[in-house]
Structure 1
């Protein structure tokens, strides 16, 4: 399937128009085809395309699932507040857009809190140490492989009050009316120059899914007498246990 898409792009490539990532990559391949060890090769393009699709859909959908479970368990403090922002900013005559986020600080705070509370990747990608480095009095030798323990950062009581609880107000300022500009110790997409390139895409997907669903539906547990279980400390991308929710038209 992906190879077919690449072939189709090759046959319809326009020198002055980039329709998408594949177009741009194919042009780079042509520019550097004479280099003996070019990093722009078709097998890399294929791998990057597959990784972008998988990485750009699965983890974000897990976060949406979690937030919907939180809404079902907290219909007043979370779900109703998100829906009020949707009603005030978007209304019911059109669909939410990414631009609407600027007037919906509580909704964005909920997305950021779900990323902190249920870490996207509890342990980040491998990094190499380029030179002997001392951290906290400990020697990290050159050539060592290190991992970012993002879950450890996000659940550290020194940096977050009641870190095991879902609390969007952590990311709000001015009486919960504005989104904070800077978030210390918030690293859901990694650190440094090589942090996750899909950060913006993840936020766009999460925002549009949540805003569109809650614009049209109220979310309830399948069984009103049994709230969804929100306990999970997996070391893989966290996702809820199989539980059913009810969606009722507003």
Structure 2
């Protein structure tokens, strides 16, 4: 079944063309559905289109745009992003520390699947995947992690889902801000969830500040505190032509960003990956044969194996294509009068990149509605390729996803570790997982349960860490 997100976009494209404009309340909005104009917005004119719109829900989430994802383009934002990028690079690709953290969580996830398999229990993988990814982010941000059943983790699950369900969905209150004077169940839920989140983050932030040392950098929050104190000691930092600094709100909202984006998006991609692997057991078998041949059963997969596992990497790319985690990238705003192709664009115009349309463009992709990892492999299947320029799973340019490298590491290590040991299938009597997602700031798959069966030779072989 060919699913279109958001519903109705195909009809609008047929009627008005690949790039068209519409009015949402008092705001002029341009919808971009083709890669040529998308790359003009994101890359060629990235700075011109680097602005972000102010909306009621995103302002509620980010203390009026003091984060990176929704924060408007400014000298403070550029300095803020530079600091966070530098801190993330400490744990980036090639870092032994973050690889060990992810491998440890993959080992824990395999142990849970093994226990369930032993008693024939079908699992909803969502909370287990969320906890594993959350622990990676917790280690990165706070040098801590959660055990199964931890009440604080359950609280985090609840407020995260509430935020995903209510923020940045172009609800009426975002289009007509004056509607917030009336009772609004979604806005009230968002405010409650943000309040719970902020209490948790504030407590961790205060604990971190209490035992902070200039001589030890344990995690991302230490790096942010160091940058903040450095600018305070110098009064301000010169960035461009303006003086900038980082407030406590900037630091807290950065951590909130990393949790919100880093956990929800990666977990969602993993859930889509498992759903598609259950639908396509032959793909699963081919990945397992590749793992058996290139890694074996004496050790766990490592990041250094990525070059030897092209079919697994191609499968991850295909999941990111067919079910982009953010079907509509966060809107951009034109910071000056400009153009897109032959179209004139006024300052303040909002621009939405329809990533779903880019990834399902039948002029760029053969049978785009079909799940086919082979489209990302070269002719003999030995190497990876990008078959179309219409592929931007993490965005591009100035506003590209900061966590791209970390997300790719997690997707590879979690999926390779699980598929090395288990075959995933639908439980007897259950339907295959629905592939029609729930539209929001991320595209979430419906809930489903999974049988994880230990593969031959693993019944007595314990899950080894990297």
TM-score (norm 1): 0.90
Shift of 1:235: 5.2
In the alignment, the residues of structure 2 paired with residue 243 and residue 74 of structure 1 have an alpha-carbon distance, to the nearest angstrom, of: 16
Shift of 1:117: 0.4
Equivalent residue for 2:291? Answer: 86
Equivalent residue for 2:72? Answer: none
Answer yes or no: is the 8 Å Cα contact 2:436–2:446 preserved in 1: no
Partner-residue secondary structure (3-state), 1:188: coil
In the alignment, the residues of structure 2 paired with residue 198 and residue 118 of structure 1 have an alpha-carbon distance, to the nearest angstrom, of: 18
Equivalent residue for 1:102? Answer: 307
Shift of 1:181: 6.0
Partner-residue secondary structure (3-state), 2:398: coil
Distance 1:86 1:161, change over 3 A: same
Partner-residue secondary structure (3-state), 1:147: strand
Partner-residue secondary structure (3-state), 2:452: strand
- Count of residue pairs the alignment pairs up: 249
Partner-residue secondary structure (3-state), 1:134: strand
Alignment of 1:105-124 (within 5 A): 105-124=310-329
Equivalent residue for 1:22? Answer: 221
**Larger-gyration structure (1/2):** 2
Equivalent residue for 1:35? Answer: 236
Partner-residue secondary structure (3-state), 1:88: helix
User: For 1:178-228, what per-residue CA distance to the aligned partner results, in whole angstroms no more than 9, with x for missing partners?
Assistant: 011675111111121221101111111111111111111101112378433
In the alignment, the residues of structure 2 paired with residue 84 and residue 39 of structure 1 have an alpha-carbon distance, to the nearest angstrom, of: 52
Distance 1:99 1:7, change over 3 A: farther
Shift of 1:233: 7.3
Structure 2: state its 5+ residue gaps. Answer: 1-199, 238-242, 456-466
Partner-residue secondary structure (3-state), 1:60: helix
Partner-residue secondary structure (3-state), 2:318: helix
Note the aligned Cα RMSD (angstroms). 2.2
Question: Is residue 187 of structure 2 the alignment partner of residue 187 of structure 1?
Answer: no
User: For 1:23-64, what per-residue CA distance to the aligned partner results, in whole angstroms no more than 9, with x for missing partners?
Assistant: 111111111112397441211111111220121111111111
In the alignment, the residues of structure 2 paired with residue 95 and residue 47 of structure 1 have an alpha-carbon distance, to the nearest angstrom, of: 36
Structure 1: state its 5+ residue gaps. Answer: none
Answer yes or no: is the 8 Å Cα contact 1:171–1:183 preserved in 2: no
User: Which of 1 and 2 has higher RCO (CA within 8 Å, sep 6+)?
Assistant: 2
